[in-house]
Amino acid sequence: MKTADPELMRAINRFTVLDTIRRHGPISRVEISERSQLSTTTVSAITASLLDDGLILTRHEGDIRNAASRGRPRVMLVLNPDAARVVGAKIAAHQMHFVVTNFCGEVISHLSLPIRVNRQPVGVISDLIEDGVRRCVVDAGLSLDEIDTVCIGFPGVIEHRTGLVRSSPILSEPDVDFAREMSQRLNVATIVESDSHAITLGHHWFGKGRDLDDMVLVSLEQTLGLGVLNGGQLFRGAGGLSHNLGDLMMGSGLAETIRLSAVAGEQAILGEQSQQGRFAEAVRLGRGMAHAQALIAAEDNGLTAAATRAGEAIGIAVANIVTLFGPPRVVIVGSSLLLGEVFLNTLADAYRRAIPPSIREVAELVFENSPDEMWAQGAAVVALCELYESPWGTTGPAPAPQF
């Protein structure tokens, strides 16, 4: 059972203030007070502490109130971008993406490695990731010592609490303790998280979920993932396991049942078609979906049928997710969106037909083909979220005194 002491109270309010400053750009203390329902004096005390810890900065310039306003001008507060730096990574079958971001989540450097890591031994993959992280950090003009946290977004079933990769299409073995592996290699605190969860938080901070504290994100990549945002926080099921949409069974009887990934996974859509020359090459290079769109536009019947099947199945699955979670918005991302109109229209249509009438108006569907960088940025956001919640001034590591 969680016990409440003054420390927890302080942590909550500190987080509230910090998050308000992050969300609402340059903001004055009074406005924080209004938004957070905290008294001005409490806000002042907390912001003083945050300023003292170097997490926020004052800016006297940007008082954007009605210019002809009397009274003492507001002092605007902003996040100190240099308060911390984190690395976010997205690992996929055919490429890796790395970003270094500052405390605001803004990308400082970006590295894309088009390397096929599929089914390589764990050691090889760790090597490649370690290399990518180090290079991206150097590109940002930093050294690893200056990085606070690394977060690696992985496809598959991830146990966030322990950092265990339960199963992933990229790794040939189950139950790999990737968090420990990378922590030891980099000597930096490392988090492992599902790539779907990462992009969910990424969209909450910077993308299509900025205005909502409750939403659901469906990611259609090599694996079919799910992220549920509940009250501004990721909903991690019991044990912190990430969800794997691809493992859902579609069908009412065992005879005609099929796993969603077998209809709508990347491999399922492209698989049948990928025998022939140039297309197979594209798939191997991770550009299968873009290529597929061209083929569909050129009326490739086999692919069109596969895309239609996939769209239908996913539309139904999304309707089921809405039935269970009732979010006001469903953001759909991932490389499969590249399949184009046919796929998207089928999906939206199947959704409309499958959703029960009584909750038809509850959720809106939003399609967004986020750039790869955003996935990595989302992983960085996961890391930042943990930093935000961690106690800094009081119990955290004291900043080394400078002489």
Positions that interact with DNA (CB under 7 A): 3-7, 9-10, 13-14, 28-30, 38-42, 44-48, 65, 68-75, 394
Residue 116 contacts residue 286 (beta carbons within 8 Å): yes
3-class secondary structure for 357-383?
A: HHHCCCCEEEECCCCHHHHHHHHHHHH
- Closer by beta carbon to DNA, 46 or else 188: 46
- Residue 267 contacts which entry, a second copy, DNA, none (Cβ below 5-8 A, type-dependent): none
8 A C-beta contact, residue 169 and residue 118: yes
75 is in the binding site of which of a second copy, DNA, none (Cβ under 5 to 8 A by kind)? DNA
Dihedral-angle region of residue 120 (phi above 0 means left; psi in -120 to 50 means alpha; beta otherwise): beta
**Closest-CA residue to 330 (of 245, 250, 230, 214):** 214
Pick the closer one to a second copy by CB: 96 or 234.
234
Whose Cβ is closer to DNA: residue 240's or residue 393's?
A: 393
Q: How many residues bind a second copy (CB under 8 A)?
A: 67
**Residue located via tokens 């986020």:** 370
| Residue 25 lies near a second copy (rule: CB under 8 A) | no
Q: Which tokens sit at 385?
A: 């979220």
Q: Is residue 12 a contact residue for a second copy (CB under 8 A)? A: yes
Between 70 and 278, whose beta carbon lies closer to DNA? 70
Q: In what order do the strands lie in the sheet with 96-101?
A: 107-113, 96-101, 86-91, 149-154, 189-194
As a whole number of angstroms, the distance between CA 350 and CA 215 comes to 20
38 binds a second copy (CB under 8 A): yes
User: How many Cβ atoms sit within 10 Å of the Cβ of residue 59?
Assistant: 12
Binding to a second copy (CB under 8 A) within 219-238 occurs at 226, 230, 235, 237-238
> Shortest gap between Cβ of 74 and DNA (angstroms)?
4
Q: Which does 113 bind (CB under 5 to 8 A by kind): a second copy, DNA, none?
A: none
Residue 263: Cβ within 10 Å count: 21
Q: Which of residues 320, 340, 367, 389 is near a second copy by CB under 8 A?
A: 320
Supply the minimum distance, in Å, between the C-beta of residue 261 and a second copy: 10
Strand partners, 228: 216
Where do the DSSP E strands lie in 106-205?
107-113, 149-154, 157-159, 164-167, 176-177, 189-194
Residue 52 CB, nearest approach to DNA (Å)? 11
Quote the least distance from Cβ 122 to a second copy, whole Å.
Answer: 17
User: Residue 323, interface with a second copy (CB under 8 A)?
Assistant: yes
Query: Which residues contact a second copy by CB under 8 A?
Result: 1-6, 8-10, 12-13, 16, 19-20, 35-38, 157, 166-167, 174, 214-215, 226, 230, 235, 237-239, 241, 243-244, 247-254, 256-260, 263, 309, 312-313, 316, 319-321, 323-328, 350, 353-354, 356, 358-359, 362
